[in-house]
């Protein structure tokens, strides 16, 4: 004899039975928890019905009454008692197949696997192709189309498959939306699903119409959902905006994505969803840091990731750990601190254990490990860190999809490390193989505006290193050309890369006594530095970037003077001194952290204004992006899980 469950546990089971999102889900839950068939469950529903009636909540009272009736009928008829509830208005000739499809879909939802998805999709497709389907009420038809689209989309996303499955999913979700009127309660979730799958198809095919339509549908869904249920729709909208920013580089998309992601995390989502939402918001802060170099965005990325990482599925928690580790690495790189790197290494070890050896997201984790060791080498100069970085990137590439966009970043990073090892004379590493890797990575990423500058800057540095070793005229010309193309992109998409590129190119030109060339490069470094200084909220952050370019005025002035450009030399020298003086007198002295303590509302308005200024400035840089520029980058980024 089994022990009767405690009343408190039985109350919880009754609540979950009633709150299931469909009658097929209620049936599946009942069959997993036969304790609900006891008389005590009936008594609990009677009490809940009486309480709701006494409070004047007729909707809740009706819900409890209907579920109580369903329990009583199940005791007499078994699962057949739910047939009419699961398939209301479905003709008798179709009802058995309909109920079987609903049951297969629920089994997949409870235990998702490729086999369960295949079985459920087969059952759902049989219903959609049945001649009687057209006679079913519109809301029920919409639900079955939605189930088919969900199965197709999730099977493609989780288990791989032909892109044609995304086409079929788009068709199913479109049909579901068309079946429902504008005010139908299920329409927002159906619309959001359509927006998501269009975004997925854009990532695969690159058709801007898919992305624009996906965002349009996602906006409609978020606007029509009640405030307490909007978090997941806001998250979907933010994700699509983030994809469009990543592909097209429009700063307005990044600004809207950030605001939407903030709203999603602040709208009281369930605890299990917070790690996913935090990953999205933290990642967007990193995106904006990479564009504008605002160190406050790095701190925001770190703070968001640290606050919400304890709940969610293993893969979701691992994704947040990778984002946090990446933000810590970037911060350590900028402030020359090894402490953050130690924390990042520990996070990545935990993330790798959560992901497991077969996870498709393991390459992103391993490549971030490689970046940590590369940054450590840049800070302490220990060659062993370079070897560890090279090994981590090699392992990441063994697990990576060769066609994935981030694979080009990993290959470029590995090539950069091999160039450094060849320059140090480490046995087994040569310039030719390293430069070949850099060339292949640059070709693979040539169509992606956000990574192209970084890949070309790494390639330019590779040509530069080989030229120093061999004196090859071809490497000199190729290196100068790659620098020029890198900085042309970097001034609009990544100011840090633009600054490093222009400084590295200028120093290389000066070492070759090519003073006019150096003068051009240093002028571009000034443009990048000006943008970086403007985007810092506090004095400390401005001082960090001032330190990165502290000798720029002197270097630029010397190059111009040596080139016989005396007027330009004077301008460079005065420009450097004027920048330092302006920053010492400007609102850069404002201590934003202190302001947040004494006047949090004002600090929030100041930060919002700064966000708006960054967005406007980024848009202005896009309009000015036609000027030729040159560059160099030594950092090798490959961040985040998809």
Domain boundary pick from 70, 86, 102: 86
In three state form, how does the secondary structure of 249-294 look? CCHHHHHHHHHHHHHHHHCCCCHHHHHHHHHHHHHHHHHHHHHHCC
Residue 84 buriedness (CB in 10 A; 0-12 / 13-18 / 19+): middle
Report how far residue 378's alpha carbon sits from residue 555's, in angstroms, rounded to the nearest whole number.
22
Does residue 218 fall inside a structural domain? no
**Distance set, CA 518 to CA 260, 523, 563, 604 (Å):** 43, 9, 9, 42
Q: Cβ distance 288 to 294 under 8 Å?
A: yes
Q: Which long-range contacts (CB under 8 A, 24 or more apart) does 110-116 make?
A: 110/28, 112/154, 112/158, 114/155, 114/158, 114/159
Residue 338: what pLDDT?
Answer: 87
> Domain containing 16: what range?
7-86
Q: Is 381 left (phi over 0), alpha (psi -120 to 50) or beta?
A: left
DSSP3 helix / strand / coil % (the chain, rounded to 5): 80, 0, 20
Q: What is the pLDDT of residue 156?
A: 87
Beta carbons of 499 and 475 less than 8 angstroms apart: no
Distance CA 10, CA 35 (A): 8
Q: What is the pLDDT of residues 525-559, one digit of tens each?
A: 888 888 877 777 666 666 666 666 667 878 888 88
User: Domain for residue 183, yes or no?
Assistant: no
Tokens of 459: 């390639």
Tell me, yes or no, whether 403 lies in a domain.
Answer: no
Residue pair 198/215 in contact by the 8 Å Cβ criterion: no
Q: Are 179 and 141 in contact (CB under 8 A)?
A: yes
Residue 404: the pLDDT is: 76
Domain end residue (candidates: 67, 86, 105): 86
* Cα gap 213→377, rounded to integer Å: 46
Check residue 618 and give its pLDDT.
Answer: 54
What are 384's two structure tokens?
Answer: 């062993």
Whether 626 is in a domain gets the answer: yes
435, 422 in Cβ contact below 8 A? no
The dihedrals phi and psi of 88, each to the nearest 5 degrees, come to -70, 130
The C-alpha R_g of the chain, in whole angstroms, comes to: 29
The whole-angstrom separation of Cα 467 and Cα 204 is 39
Greatest Cα-to-Cα distance within the chain, rounded to the nearest angstrom: 100
In a domain, 284, yes or no: no
424: helix, strand or coil: coil
- Give the model's pLDDT for residue 423: 94
Query: Which pLDDT score, from 0 to 100, does residue 388 have?
Result: 95
Number of domains within the chain = 2
Could you tell me the CA-to-CA distances from 420 to 244, 416, 417, 461 in Å, in that order? 35, 6, 5, 10
DSSP one-letter string for 81-122: GGHHHHSTT--HHHHHHHHHHHHHHHHHHHS--HHHHHHHHH
Is 363 in contact with 400 (CB distance < 8 Å)?
A: yes
DSSP at 2: P
Print the SS3 string covering 353-416: HHHCCCCCCHHHHHHHHHHHHHHHHHHHCCHHHHHHHHHHHHHHHHHCCCCCHHHHHHHHHHHH
Q: How much is the pLDDT for 605? A: 63
Question: pLDDT at position 151, please?
Answer: 92
Nearest to 152 by CA among 168, 140, 163: 168
CA dist 538 and 544 (Å) reads 10
584 inside domain: yes
Lookup result for tokens 């949090």: 600
77 within a domain of the structure (yes/no): yes
Asked if residues 528 and 506 have their Cβ atoms less than 8 Å apart, the reply is no
Q: Residue 180 falls within a domain, yes or no?
A: no
Q: H or E stretch including 346?
A: helix 339-355
Q: What is the pLDDT of residue 1?
A: 40
φ/ψ region of 627 (left if φ > 0, alpha if ψ in -120 to 50, else beta) reads beta
CA dist 17 and 95 (Å) reads: 23
Cα gap 641→638, rounded to integer Å: 9
For residue 192, report the phi and psi dihedrals to the nearest 5 degrees. Answer: -65, -40
- Residue that finishes a domain, picked among 86, 110, 143: 86
Q: For the chain, list residues with pLDDT below 70.
A: 1-5, 21, 83-87, 309, 537-550, 575-642
């Amino acid at each position: 004899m089994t022990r009767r469950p405690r009343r408190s546990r039985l109350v919880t089971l009754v609540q979950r039975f009633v709150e299931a999102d469909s009658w097929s889900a209620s049936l599946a839950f009942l069959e997993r928890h036969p304790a609900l068939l006891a008389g005590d469950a009936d008594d609990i529903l009677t009490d809940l019905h009486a309480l709701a009636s006494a409070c004047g909540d007729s909707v809740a009272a009706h819900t409890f009454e209907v579920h109580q009736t369903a329990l009583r009928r199940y005791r007499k008829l078994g699962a057949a008692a739910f047939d009419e509830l699961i398939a209301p208005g479905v003709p008798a000739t179709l009802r058995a197949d309909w109920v079987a499809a609903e049951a297969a879909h629920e089994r997949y939802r409870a235990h998702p696997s490729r086999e369960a998805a295949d079985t459920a999709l087969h059952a759902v497709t049989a219903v959609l192709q049945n001649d009687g389907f057209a006679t079913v009420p519109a809301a029920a038809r919409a639900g079955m189309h939605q189930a088919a689209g969900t199965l197709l989309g999730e099977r493609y996303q989780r288990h791989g498959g032909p892109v044609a499955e995304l086409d079929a999913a788009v068709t199913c979700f479109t049909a579901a939306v068309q079946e429902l009127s504008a005010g139908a309660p299920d329409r927002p979730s159906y619309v959001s699903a359509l927006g998501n799958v269009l975004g997925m198809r854009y990532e695969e095919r690159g058709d801007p119409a898919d992305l624009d339509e996906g965002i349009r549908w996602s906006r409609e869904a978020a606007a029509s959902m009640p405030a307490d249920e909007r978090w997941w729709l806001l998250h979907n909208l933010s994700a699509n905006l983030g994809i469009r920013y990543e592909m097209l580089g429009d700063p307005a998309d990044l600004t809207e994505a950030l605001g939407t992601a903030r709203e999603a995390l602040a709208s009281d989502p369930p605890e299990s969803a917070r790690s996913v939402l935090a990953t999205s918001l933290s990642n967007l802060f990193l995106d904006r840091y990479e564009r504008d170099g605002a160190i406050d965005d790095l701190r925001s990325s770190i703070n968001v990731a640290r606050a919400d990482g304890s709940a969610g599925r293993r893969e979701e928690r691992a994704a947040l750990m990778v984002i946090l580790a990446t933000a810590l690495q970037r911060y350590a790189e900028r402030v020359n601190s090894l402490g953050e790197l130690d924390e990042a290494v520990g996070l990545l070890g935990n993330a790798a254990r959560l992901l497991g050896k077969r996870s498709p997201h393991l390459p992103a984790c391993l490549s971030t490990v490689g970046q940590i060791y590369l940054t450590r080498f840049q800070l302490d100069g220990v060659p062993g860190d370079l070897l560890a970085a090279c090994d981590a990137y090699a392992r990441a590439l063994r697990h990576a999809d060769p066609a994935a966009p981030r694979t080009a970043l990993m290959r470029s990073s590995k090539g950069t490390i091999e160039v450094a090892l060849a320059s140090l004379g480490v046995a087994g590493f040569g310039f030719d193989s390293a430069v070949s890797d850099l060339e292949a990575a640059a070709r693979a990423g040539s169509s992606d505006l956000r990574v192209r500058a970084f890949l070309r800057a790494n390639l330019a540095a590779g040509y530069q290193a080989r030229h120093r070793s061999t004196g090859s005229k071809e490497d000199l010309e190729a290196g100068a050309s790659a620098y020029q193309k890198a900085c042309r992109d970097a001034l609009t998409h990544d100011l840090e890369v633009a600054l490093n590129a222009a400084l590295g190119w200028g120093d290389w030109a000066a070492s070759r006594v090519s003073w006019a060339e150096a003068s051009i490069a240093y002028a571009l470094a000034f443009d990048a530095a000006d943008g970086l200084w403007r985007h810092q909220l506090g004095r400390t952050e401005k001082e960090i970037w001032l330190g990165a370019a502290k000798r720029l005025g002197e270097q630029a002035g010397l190059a111009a003077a040596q080139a016989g450009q005396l007027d330009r030399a004077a301008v460079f020298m005065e420009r450097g001194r004027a920048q330092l003086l302006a920053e010492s007198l400007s609102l850069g002295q404002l201590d934003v952290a202190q302001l947040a303590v004494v006047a949090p509302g004002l600090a929030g308005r100041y930060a919002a204004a700064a966000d708006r200024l960054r967005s406007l400035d980024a848009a202005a840089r896009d309009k000015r992006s036609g000027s030729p520029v040159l560059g160099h980058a030594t950092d090798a980024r490959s961040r985040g899980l998809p």
